[in-house]
Structure 1
C-alpha cells in the first residue's frame, strides 16, 4: 500500500488513517484492564490463595515483563504478517487470561494465566498499535502515539466502579469471567478492521513539525543497539516506568496503609475506586497532551517538564496522605505526570532511528517497562515488608523522576542531536553507524 499522508494528502487516505487511529484506541482500551485493574484483584486473590503480597505481585511483574520483553519478536511478527491478525490474537489472549484466572486454584496457575497469557496478549496489541501509529502519522507522531496510548490509559476508566461493585456483590470468579469475555470480544472486533500503514519511503514524508528533530536514516535494531543514545533512553524509561508501575500495582495497598480504603468516602463516593477512576482519566489525557506539546517544543523539553513535575506530584501525594479529598485529587496529578512516557519515548525513538523498523525498534525500548515492573512491583513490596514503611520507596521514585528529567535536557538532547547530525553528514550508502 502506498499513499501520501502529508498535510494536503488525498481526503480518502486522511480519513483512513484517522479511522485506523480510532480502531487502535478501541483495541488499546480493551487490553488495558489487566494492568490497571490489577490492584483491585490483589486483596481477593490473597484471601482466596492464602498468599502474601510480595508473592502475588510477581504476577504483575510477569505480566509486564512478558508484555515488554517479548515485544521485539512481536513487533517483527506484526511487521511481517500485518496488524489485523496479530492484534486480534492478542486481544483474544488478553480476554482469555481473565477467564482462565477465574478457575485458578494456586499461585502458579495465576502466574500462568494472568501473567503469562495476559502479558503475551497485551504485548502484541500494544506494540502493534504503537508501531502502526508512528507510521500512519509522521507529521503528528507525538499526538498520534499519545492518542493510541491514551486508549490504554483510558480503558479502565469505565470499569473501575463496575468491577469494584462486581467483586463486592458477585465475587472474584464471576467478575473475571464476565469482564474477560467482554473485553476480549470488543478488542477482537476492532482488530479485524485494522489496515497496515504505508511502507516507509513509499509515502511522501511531510516536513517535521516545529520542535521536532528527526533523522533521515533508518536504523536496523542491531545498529540502534550499538548507540549510546538508545541505552540512555532505555535507562530513562526504566526509571520512569519503575515509579509509575509501583503506583499502579501497589496503589490500593499503600492507600489502605495510609487509612484510605473503600470505607472512606470522598464527595459521596468510595475513595479508592474514585481515585482509580480519576487516575485513569488523567493517565489517558496526559499522553496526547504531552505528545502534542512535544511536537511543538521538542521531545526533551517536554520530558523535563513532565518528569520533574511527576517527582513533585509524588512528593505532594505523600504530603497530603492524611486528607482523603486532597489525596484523591493529588493521585490524579501523579498519573498526569507519568502516562506521557508512552507518547514521548516511542515518538522520540522513531524521530531518532527512523520509521522503517519502528515497530521492532520500539519493541526493544519497551522492554524497559519490564525492568520497571520488577523494581516497582515485587521489589517495592519487599522493601515495604522489610521496613514497614512506603517512605523509602517513594523517596527513591522521586529521586529517579527528577534525575530522568535532568538527563533529558542535559544528556539526551545533545547526544541525540549529535547522532542525527553525524547521520546527515555521512556519505550516501555508508552504514548508519559510520
Structure 2
C-alpha cells in the first residue's frame, strides 16, 4: 500500500514537473518579441534585448535561492507562487511603456519567477528516482527545452492574430495555469532517498567539500569560468537569434524566426546527447567537447559567409553546447567537490548563468551590436577550452600533500 502510494506520488510529481518545465521554458522564445517591443518603445533592439540578460540574471539568482524557499514552504507552494508571479509579470509586461518598466517586469520579475520554479522542481523530481536519475532528469530538462519550441509556435500565432499586448496577456495566463496545475501535482521528495542514491551512484568520493573549502580551490573558479562562458554564449544568442538573423545575416523575418525552432531542437539534443554521454565518458571531457562545438558555432558567425543554412548551423552549435553543459554541470560539480554540498557549490557557480547573459547584453549595448559580443565569446571559449583540457581534480582539503595528490575518479559506472 505504501509502495503504491509512493509510486503514485513520484509519477504525479514527474508529470507535474514536466508540465511546469514546459511552461517555464517558454521564456526562451524571447527573441520573437525584441523587434515588436523596439517598435513600440522606440528604443534600439540592443537595449530592448538587454531585458533578456536581466531575466537570465534574475533566473540564476532565484534558482540559487529556491532550495531555501522549498525547505520553508514546500515544493508545491513555491511552484504555485512561481506560476502566479510568472503570469502577473507577463501581463504587466504588456503594459510596459518604457525601458525601465520592461527591465522590471520582463527582466527582473519574469526571471525571478522562472528561476524559482526551474532548478527546485528539477532537483526535487530527480530525488524521487534515485535508480533512474538520468531518465528523470532528461524528462524534466527535455520538457524545459521543448517548451521553447512549443511556445515558439504558440507565441508566433498569438503575435500574428492578437498583437503584442494581448499576446503577453494570453501567454501569461496559459503559462500561469500550466505551472499551477503542475505544482498541485508535486510532492516534496524524501531527502534520505536522494542522499543514499547519490552515494551509490558515485564512484569514490573521498571528501565532500563545503562551499568555503571549494571556493579556496583553483578548480572551483575554473569551472565557474567555463560555465559562465557557455552560458554567456548560449543565452545571448538565444535572446537575440531572430534579430541576428534579420540585421546581421540579412534574412527575412520569417526565416530569421525559424532560428528559434532550430535553437530549441539543438538545445534539447544537447541536453540528451551530452547528458547520456556523461554517464559513459569523464564529464570534464564532455564539457571540453561542448566548448569545441560552441567555438565552432561562434567562429562560424564571425568568419563564415552567412546564409540561412550556415546561420542555422552556427546557432545550433551554440544551443547544443549550452543545453548539454546545463545538463552535465551539476554532476560535474559533484565529481569535483562531492555530493553532500553540491546544491550550495553548484548554486554559486550557477550565478554564471545570469551573469554571462547579462555581460553579453552589456557588451552589445556599449559597443553597438552583435559582433563585439561574438569576439568576446570567442576569446572566452579559447581560454575555457584550455582550462577544460588542463584542469585536475582537487586534493582533499586540510590534508597532507600525499593525500592531496590523490585524484577523485570522474567516471560513473
What is the TM-score when the length of structure 1 is the normalising length? Answer: 0.82
Q: Tell me the residue number matched to 2:386.
A: 406
CA contact (8 A) 1:59 1:115 kept: yes
Provide the residue aligned with 1:431 in structure 2. Answer: none
Alpha-carbon distance change, 202 to 115 in structure 1, aligned in 2, over 3 angstroms: closer
Cα pair distance change 1:44/1:206, threshold 3 Å: closer
Higher helix proportion (structure 1 or 2): 2
- The CA deviation at 1:86 is 0.9
**2:393 corresponds to:** 415
Contact 1:199 1:356 in 2 (8 A): no
The alpha carbon displacement at 1:173 in A equals 0.4
Judge conservation of contact 1:304–1:408 (CA < 8 Å) in 2.
yes
Partner of 1:331: 315
Give 5+ residue unaligned stretches, structure 1. Answer: 4-9, 264-269, 427-434
Match of 2:17 among 13, 24, 32: 24
CA distance in 1 between counterparts of 2:352 and 2:304 reads 31
- Secondary structure in 2 matching 1:337: helix
Contact 1:87 1:124 in 2 (8 A): yes
Counterpart for residue 295 of structure 1? 279
Taking a change above 3 Å as real, the CA distance of residues 420 and 147 of structure 1, as seen in their structure-2 partners, is farther
Matched, 1:151 2:143: yes
Task: Tell me the distance in 2 between the aligned counterparts of 1:202 and 1:393.
Answer: 40
Return the match for 1:255 from 232, 245, 255.
245
Q: Distance in 2 between matches of 1:52 and 1:213?
A: 52
Q: Is the alpha carbon distance of 1:272 and 1:378 closer, same or farther for their aligned partners in structure 2, counting shifts above 3 Å?
A: same
Conservation of the 8 A alpha-carbon contact between 1:127 and 1:363: no
The answer to whether the Cα contact below 8 Å between 1:94 and 1:121 also exists between their aligned partners in 2 is yes
Provide the rounded CA distance (Å) in 1 between the counterparts of 2:72 and 2:341: 11
What is the Cα deviation at residue 401 of structure 1? 2.4
Rounded Cα–Cα distance in structure 2 between residues aligned with 1:157 and 1:62: 22
2:171 aligned with 1:187: no
Return the offset for 1:320.
4.9
Partner of 1:322: 306
Cα 1:292–1:15 shift into 2, 3 Å? farther
TM-superposed deviation, 1:223: 4.1
In 1: Cα distance, 2:225 partner to 2:211 partner: 17
- Write the distance in 2 (CA, Å) between the matches of 1:221 and 1:163: 41
Q: Which residue of the other structure, out of 360, 366, 370, is the alignment partner of 2:354? A: 370
1:379 aligned partner: 363
Change (3 A) 1:316 1:87: same
Shift of 1:356: 4.2
CA distance in 2 between partners of 1:90 and 1:364 (Å): 21
What secondary structure does 2:323 align onto? coil
The Cα of 1:30 is off from its aligned counterpart by 0.8
Distance 2:132 2:378 in 1: 31
Shift of 1:294: 0.6
Q: Which of 160, 168, 171 is equivalent to 2:163?
A: 171
Could you tell me how far 1:219 is from its partner in structure 2?
4.5
Rounded Cα–Cα distance in structure 2 between residues aligned with 1:121 and 1:86: 10
- When normalised by structure 2's length, the TM-score is 0.86
Instruction: Report deviation, 1:101.
Output: 0.8
Aligned residue number for residue 44 of structure 1 = 36
Q: What is the CA deviation profile of residues 328-379 of structure 1, one whole-angstrom value per residue up to 9, with x for unaligned ones? A: 3443233112211211111222344444444444322211112101211232
d(CA) in 1 for partners of 2:206 and 2:84?
A: 37
* Higher mean displacement: 252-261 or 297-306: 252-261
Task: Report the equivalent of 1:60.
Answer: 52
State the shift of 1:154 in Å. 1.7
Q: For the residues of structure 2 that align with 1:119 and 1:316, how far apart are their CA atoms?
A: 30
Q: 1:398: Cα distance to partner?
A: 2.6
Q: Matches of residues 71-220 of structure 1 in structure 2 within 5 Å?
A: 71-133=63-125, 135-138=127-130, 141=133, 144-200=136-192, 204-205=196-197, 215=205, 217-220=207-210
Aligned residue pairs total: 402
Q: Cα–Cα, structure 1 residues 200 and 321, in superposed 2: closer, same or farther, change >3 Å?
A: farther
Determine the C-alpha separation between the residues in 2 that align with 1:82 and 1:103.
32
Question: What CA distance in whole angstroms lies between the structure 2 residues aligned with 1:219 and 1:17?
Answer: 30
Question: Per-residue CA shift, 1:279-307, capped at 9, x if unaligned?
Answer: 10110121132111111112111111111
Gaps of 5+ in 2: 405-413
Instruction: Determine if contact 1:352/1:420 at 8 Å carries over to the other structure.
Output: no
Distance in structure 2 (CA, Å) of the matches to 1:51 and 1:124:
30
- Counterpart position of 2:409: none
RMSD: 3.0
Query: Conserved in 2, the CA contact under 8 Å of 1:208 and 1:214?
Result: no
